[in-house]
């Protein structure tokens, strides 16, 4: 038996979007450990785009923007696959089609849409899937490191904070009649396809890399490894927590090399007038 003890267990990974996504890395890691993985995909169009990637892997369509899609998901899982040992919420959306605006100029419809998709959908999915979750199942949501409050992340920072709040309240709510655990993995900046759509994200990503103790950016696989551990029985004592995975960047604001470049900008430009 492997350390994780998840062989033959069944997990639902919600929000597969592409090969570079956290959802795909989590699914692959689970499969490598011998687990059965079912994916949810937003719609038929996305499923067609992922056909070569998925091959014969099982999946269900579920667009969390539509209440009916979520409401029927639990029953569809039961009919086609049976009970679950846990599920992963790797879903986020923000409308940046009009470019980045100051936070106080965020439109109501954009904020509410992003909140429903990125945060409240965890509550809705948990409610729908509760009948098919085993009494000791584990649920993991993908959040962001508390240090990610950059202006160009826009209104997604407070929405991801709302997601983490939902995790804690779900843990309390489900504890009334089960030992189902809820946790989030709060990742530092990652190079994913979805992050590429955030205005100015690359500059912040490169800056965050310099703030890590190791001077090497966080990888999607490192986030996935933490998610899989939280899904496993080995993490049974962890509940209602936000596990930060960012290679130490939130404790390294005053890194000597970064401070030097900021206080002597000519160094970063390679300028030498002396």
Handedness of CA 163, 167, 36, 145 (dihedral sign): positive
Is 15 annotated in a binding site? The answer is yes
Residue 63 marked ligand-binding:
yes
Alpha-carbon gap, residue 121 to 127, rounded angstroms: 10
Q: Is 160 annotated as a binding residue?
A: yes
Task: Check the CA dihedral 30-34-36-39 and report its sign.
Answer: positive
**Closest C-alpha to 178, from 61, 257, 86:** 86
- Give SS3 for 179: coil
Q: Which residues contact 155 (CB under 8 A, 6 or more apart)?
A: 94, 103, 106, 110, 111, 114
Binding-site entries for NAD(+): 15, 63-64, 91, 160
Binding-site entries: 15, 63-64, 91, 94, 160
Binding-site entries for substrate: 94
């Amino acid at each position: 038996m492997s350390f994780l003890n998840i062989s033959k267990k069944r997990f639902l990974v919600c929000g597969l979007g592409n090969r570079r996504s956290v959802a795909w890395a989590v699914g692959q890691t689970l499969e490598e450990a011998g687990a059965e993985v079912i994916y949810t995909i937003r719609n038929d169009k996305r499923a067609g785009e992922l056909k070569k990637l998925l091959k014969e892997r099982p999946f269900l369509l579920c667009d969390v923007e539509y209440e009916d899609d979520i409401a029927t998901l639990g029953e569809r899982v039961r009919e086609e696959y049976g009970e679950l040992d846990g599920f992963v919420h790797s879903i986020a959306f923000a409308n940046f089609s009009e470019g980045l605006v100051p936070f106080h100029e965020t439109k109501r419809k954009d904020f509410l849409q992003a909140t429903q998709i990125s945060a409240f959908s965890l509550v809705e999915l948990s409610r729908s899937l509760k009948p098919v979750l085993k009494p000791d199942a584990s649920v993991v949501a993908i959040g962001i490191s508390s240090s990610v409050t950059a202006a160009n992340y826009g209104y997604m920072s407070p929405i991801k904070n709302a997601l983490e709040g939902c995790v804690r309240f779900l843990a309390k709510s489900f504890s009334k009649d089960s030992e189902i655990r809820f946790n989030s993995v709060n990742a530092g900046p990652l190079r994913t396809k979805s992050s590429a759509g955030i205005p100015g994200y690359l500059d912040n990503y490169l800056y965050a890399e310099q703030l890590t103790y190791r001077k090497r950016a966080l990888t999607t696989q490192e986030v996935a490894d933490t998610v899989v551990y939280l899904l496993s029985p080995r993490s049974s004592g962890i509940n209602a927590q936000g596990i930060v995975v960012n290679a130490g960047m939130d404790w390294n604001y005053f890194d000597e090399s970064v401070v030097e470049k900021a206080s002597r900008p000519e160094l970063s430009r390679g300028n030498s007038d002396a």
